[in-house]
Structure 1
Amino acid sequence: MIPRIIICHLALVCFLIYCDKILAKDANIEEEEYEARNFLILLNRQSERDANRLAIAQWAYASNLTDENLQAQLAIASEVAKNEKEAWQRVTQFNWQRFSDYNLRRQFQKYSVLGTSALPEEKFKQLNKIISDMETIYSKAKICPKDSKDGKECNLSLEPDLTQILAVSRDAEELKHTWLKWRDAIGPKCRGLYKDYVELSNEAARLNDFTDNSQYWLHDYEDPNFKTAVFNLWEQLKPLYLQIHAYVRTKLREKYGDIVSEKGPIPAHLLGNMWAQTWNNVAEFMLPYPDVRDHNLTAILIEKNYTATEIFKTSEAFFKSINLTAMPETFWNNSILEKPANRELICHASAWDFYDGKDFRIKQCTEVTDEQFITAHHEMGHIEYFLQYKDQPFQFREGANDGFHEAIGDLIALSVNSNKHLKKIGLLPNEKDDPKGVLNNLFKLGLSKITFLPFGYLMDLWRWDIFSGKTTSEDYNCKWWELREKYQGVEPPVDRSEEDFDPAGKYHIVADVPYLRYFISFVLQYQFHRSLCEKAGQYEPNNVEKQLHECDIYENTVAGNLLKQMLEMGSSKPWPDALEVLTGQRTMDATGILDFFKPLSKWLEEENKKNNAFIGWERSKKVCTRTRQELLENSPSSSTSTVSEGPSTTEST
């Protein structure tokens, strides 16, 4: 038996040895953290310089589509990729997962994901060239007008020509022609490129230890169950969508006759938008109260001599009124707010951060319309986000998640769309609102917001299945239309084949831009709006005098300061933390949309019951085949199986 004193002595010795090891280990970690901080200072400076150089080159090409600018952009992108790869190799040598400093650990975690720069140099160049080539095909595409007999007339571009035709024409044949020729001009040229793009994107994702590119796209949401969370949001919103879909189909059938079936999907070319993603352009012949005088905001803007610059100045004034930041002088000097006449450019509206804390720009081929008026607020929302987090470390200069970034301008636009706001800034006469006119306005907004939801969801469902290999290149187009029918209840104007590649007719597909952010933003903007309106004292759930759709936070600094607090965080914390700052909630919640559109939802349900409208849709009779020859050889399917039954049921999955 060992004496107790010896046992105690041995225990003390072991304890002291253990403590020495722990202290030595902690000292090593502290020393590594000190070294990491110094390294990070240099890395952030290098990242800022590289991001600035690349943004300048990308802007030069996007605003002037020449081969010289393309080559310059690709060369700089390749140089930046080399620097990123070298930095990444150094980052992986640190034991950053054990750092005690949260901000330090989070920055290293973000630097530890390299992205497409992980590709070998030649493949990196190839991937960037493919994306640029698809963007160029899209941006330079021109088509002929219907009944054109002279090739000289074949100069109609998407902005503003084709967009305008889809918005205002009520000639079904002209709409079909425009819809088809736009896709013919892009899809077949991009199909092979897209297959190569998928392969290289997946290779880059695997080099970053993701299974495929869909997992890479989703990783920034920092939630392994994020797909399920988004699906649940869609399930919350689907009943409202089905109601507005049924009502619109009824009205389109009254307008166009049998080319719109009573129970089938809606022909996509009749919905006033090239992609049938928003339907507000067809509101004029389906308003709840058509005899109530409607204020035409486009006509008012033109009558008041608004220019593109004046539209953006009006947007800036809103942000300033809630204690956010005025645009720097560089914004007005360097932005492109109207389409230049002397060169080809990417007209798709975009906001740019040049990562020097001073240079922020918008590129938009602005037309003086109500839609572009709202788009200006959306893009300036991005700029405001840039301005608020510009002093954060480099890796935190982004939205809490990408849906946050898209939501900010749209959040402001919810106030801008209100009659209350338009009266304040002199765009509407200062008279009492007619409740019927208010419902008309809510309906028009619903045709922009509610109808977008399934499109915003399915765009990446389609790409996730492609990246994962579930959908092969032999089924790109048919899978696209399967999802368009399943979630949106729309169909193409004619049968399609795999020789077509209709997804390429949408910019975000060819430009490698994830789209789930827009669906998320449509949920968040209403969640944000409800919270800010409550803080501003303008919304109470059971108060008919303070309804959510009539709230305007213009000039309310209480709401503005709360918004500013969230924007300043950038991505320094996980997005639920940022959401909690603004709303007190840590999960996304679709009830904000449902609360906003509650009066419209009630009206739609009553109207659809009165009209005995079919809720949901039967399967489309349009077919999609492997080749166009098969379309000629086989008659269209006559299947009448349904995805919904009866006037009161919902679409099944």
Structure 2
Amino acid sequence: MNALRLQPPPLLFLLILVGLMAHRADARYLEGLNMNLGEALQFLREHDREGSTVCNKVMTAQWNFATNITDVNRRKMLEEQTVKLKFERASWRKTVSFAWSRIADPYARRQLKMIAVKGRNSLTDDKFNEMHHLIMEMKELYNRVKLCPYRKIGAACDLTFETDVAKIMSQSRDYDELLHYWQAWHEAVGPPLKNKYVRYVQLANQAAKLSGFADAGDQMREIYEDDYVQQNMAEIVSAIMPLYKHLFTFVRSRLMERYGDRIRADGPLPAHVLGNMWAQNWDGIFDLVQPFPGAKKLDVTLDMMIQGFTSLRIFQMAEEFFTSMGMKPMPPEFWRSSVFEKPIDRDIKCSASAWDFCNKMDYRIKQCTKINTEDLISTHHEMAHVQYYLQYKDQPLLFQSEALPGFHEAVSNAIGLSVFTPQHLHRIGLYNNSTDDYESNINFLMLVALQKVAYLPFAYIVDQWRWRVFNNGVADMTTRWWELRLQYQGILPPISRTERDFDPASKYHVPADLPYANYFLSVILQFQLFESLCDISGHTGDLHTCDLYRSREAGRLLSDVLSMGSSTPWPDIIRQMTRGQTNRIDASAMLRYFQPLSRYLKRQNQIEPVIGWLTNHEDTALFAHWYLGNAGNLPTMAILPIVLIVLICLSL
């Protein structure tokens, strides 16, 4: 009898679970009893002072390593990062001794919450250290991978991803060569990381639950300060999907011309032929899919070379873009300490990046600048990050950050949308816009869509997958990954996959414990911000032709928005950004930007049998072995209880 009491019927069990989940919504955060405002303010002052010092030392050590890769500099960087971890852990312990959610001062309460809800500090020392070392191990394993060249027997297996493989995936048009590198990369990264990732999930969930969250995904979403962030993201994807499916259909028709019957006329696309290891953006195959190959391409590299551009001139031109809008010039330390070109005397990480040294003076960019269009845009992008640093530098340290995750990138990309236009490049003497006709405009919008529209579903699914793993467990992780990719991207693995493969680890942000939903939000926000700045600047006409150069009105609005940092809840910042029109993130500005391309794609796709993709048994058989195998072995009556439970869950 006792045994029977311990086994409630399925419906009752589900109701209990729902009750527990509902209880979580009312649970308060992990906090203590101290409500003394004076002590809290004193702690925050000390945190601001000590945190700035710690941050400066870490950034300096990271800079030294990034600009001079030696073992000595690497050891120093790791030492400073360890000191920073200890500081953050001590700060967290002090913060949760306060009843911080009931502290009277709203700014103090906001700062304390920012410390309290982040990180894995609730773990015991041994598990905290295990978590830290586990993530370090996964990152190092990922970064050490080298691959063998295609069909070169006896050649050294020394191809790195950043330098070699990414370029091949973008430039090769050989189906089998692309498949070789896709398969080799996934094999080198996924299986070795799987067991480490399973342990990482266990520790992350433990930390979250000890801090009062349902799981690690629940904790990750806390930073968005929005109980409905997942619903909002789903609505955005739904709004963009018609445009994405028309882009997808057009691209598929062009890939069929290249690869023949290896591409199915109404089906999903294999992941390796879209110019990128993860099929996350498709600009690598622009030459295959550009609507009008004869139209002039938006490329000013030759003009820059003829005019004798140097890396310094590119940076001066980027600064002048911002000062023309009435925004801040780069400080003297920027020109003194930045790295504009690749040094010849030492090894350096060449990926472009912007740096804030946390002392209100020292801001830098590191970039191995080449004289071409891409680096002209990249320089403006990185300087927009520095402009954001300069605007919020007078905020407390904890508020010296973006308004919400993804906003830093959104700001920089919005500037990129203005700079990378025929109109702007003509105004600065680099482009003859006499050919700025319909065909050139559609080609331009297609290039931007391959970068932005194609990227959005991928940016959506990474954290959707991760949050499901935290919530539902580590079974069937690879299957769930490809389910999402097929559902939202129309992408399939080019060869059969099993759970051993652990394909999600092929994307660095997964093993490196880096959130990804911020990239999704940055895509949408950049168009919202761009539209607002263009409207206040007085722009008329198609949104993609807007140039913010010399608009003081746009500069004032942007400065006001950036100067708040993260001191204010982001809905209020979006309301200010849109001048009262909305406090939500939505896709309308992005759809407005691509409206001319959308019309073109709909006309072109009229003859296509399917807009989007149809899936069949062979598609899902590539990865859904557990489902197909189990379903085939279960009698019909055995499946019915499972179906009923699923229906009950949906109805609840």
Q: Alignment partner for residue 560 of structure 2, among 538, 560, 565?
A: 565
Q: Matched residue pairs, number?
A: 591
1:380 — aligned with what?
383
1:362-402 CA-partner distances (Å, limit 9, x unpaired): 44555555445444433333222122111101111111101
Classify the secondary structure of the residue corresponding to 1:487. Answer: helix
How far has the Cα of 1:417 moved from its partner? 1.7
2:520 — aligned with what?
519
Q: 1 CA distance for matches of 2:204 and 2:623? A: 27
Q: 1 CA distance for matches of 2:377 and 2:137? A: 30
1:617 aligns with 2:633: no
TM-score, normalised via structure 1 length: 0.84
1:24 — aligned with what?
none
How far has the Cα of 1:432 moved from its partner? 5.1
2:211 — aligned with what?
208
1:189 aligns with 2:188: no
How far has the Cα of 1:124 moved from its partner? 2.8
- Could you tell me whether the CA contact under 8 Å between 1:139 and 1:347 is conserved in 2? no
Q: State the structure with more CA Rg.
A: 1
Q: Alignment partner for residue 163 of structure 1, among 166, 187, 190?
A: 166
1:262 aligns with 2:259: no
- Could you tell me whether the CA contact under 8 Å between 1:65 and 1:136 is conserved in 2? no
Note closer, same or farther for the CA distance 1:373–1:256 as it changes in structure 2 (3 Å cut). Answer: farther
TM-score, normalised via structure 2 length: 0.84
Note closer, same or farther for the CA distance 1:496–1:92 as it changes in structure 2 (3 Å cut). Answer: closer
Moved more, 294-303 or 432-441: 294-303
Note closer, same or farther for the CA distance 1:479–1:95 as it changes in structure 2 (3 Å cut). Answer: closer
Alignment of 1:70-469 (within 5 A): 71-152=75-156, 154-298=157-301, 300-301=303-304, 310-336=313-339, 349-364=352-367, 370-431=373-434, 433-468=436-471
Question: Which letter does structure 2 place at the counterpart of 1:410?
Answer: N
Note closer, same or farther for the CA distance 1:299–1:137 as it changes in structure 2 (3 Å cut). Answer: farther
Q: Alignment partner for residue 542 of structure 2, among 516, 523, 547?
A: 547
Note closer, same or farther for the CA distance 1:30–1:479 as it changes in structure 2 (3 Å cut). Answer: closer
Classify the secondary structure of the residue corresponding to 1:236. Answer: helix
Q: Alignment partner for residue 606 of structure 1, among 603, 606, 611?
A: 603
Classify the secondary structure of the residue corresponding to 2:509. Answer: helix
Q: 1 CA distance for matches of 2:455 and 2:466? A: 18
- Could you tell me whether the CA contact under 8 Å between 1:478 and 1:624 is conserved in 2? yes
How far has the Cα of 1:625 moved from its partner? 6.7
Note closer, same or farther for the CA distance 1:557–1:435 as it changes in structure 2 (3 Å cut). Answer: same
Q: 2 CA distance for matches of 1:243 and 1:458? A: 19
Note closer, same or farther for the CA distance 1:30–1:459 as it changes in structure 2 (3 Å cut). Answer: closer
How far has the Cα of 1:598 moved from its partner? 0.7
Classify the secondary structure of the residue corresponding to 2:434. Answer: coil
How far has the Cα of 1:223 moved from its partner? 1.2
- Could you tell me whether the CA contact under 8 Å between 2:340 and 2:365 is conserved in 1? yes
- Could you tell me whether the CA contact under 8 Å between 1:352 and 1:360 is conserved in 2? yes
Classify the secondary structure of the residue corresponding to 1:508. Answer: coil
Question: Which letter does structure 2 place at the counterpart of 1:564?
Answer: S
Note closer, same or farther for the CA distance 1:30–1:165 as it changes in structure 2 (3 Å cut). Answer: closer
Q: 2 CA distance for matches of 1:166 and 1:129? A: 32
Question: Which letter does structure 2 place at the counterpart of 1:163?
Answer: A
Note closer, same or farther for the CA distance 1:527–1:274 as it changes in structure 2 (3 Å cut). Answer: same
How far has the Cα of 1:411 moved from its partner? 0.3
Moved more, 594-603 or 103-112: 103-112
Question: Which letter does structure 2 place at the counterpart of 1:526?
Answer: F
Task: State, as a whole percentage, how many aligned pairs show the same letter.
Answer: 39
Q: 2 CA distance for matches of 1:306 and 1:181? A: 40
Q: 2 CA distance for matches of 1:145 and 1:60? A: 33
Classify the secondary structure of the residue corresponding to 2:476. Answer: helix
How far has the Cα of 1:609 moved from its partner? 0.7
Q: 2 CA distance for matches of 1:341 and 1:191? A: 39
Question: Which letter does structure 2 place at the counterpart of 1:495?
Answer: S
1:222-247 CA-partner distances (Å, limit 9, x unpaired): 11111111111111111111110011
Q: 1 CA distance for matches of 2:339 and 2:122? A: 33
Q: 2 CA distance for matches of 1:497 and 1:525? A: 38
How far has the Cα of 1:449 moved from its partner? 1.0
1:528-583 CA-partner distances (Å, limit 9, x unpaired): 111111100113xxxxxx21110010121110110010000001110011111110
Classify the secondary structure of the residue corresponding to 1:571. Answer: coil
- Could you tell me whether the CA contact under 8 Å between 1:233 and 1:590 is conserved in 2? yes
User: Please, which runs of 5 or more residues in structure 2 have no aligned partner?
Assistant: 1-32, 630-652
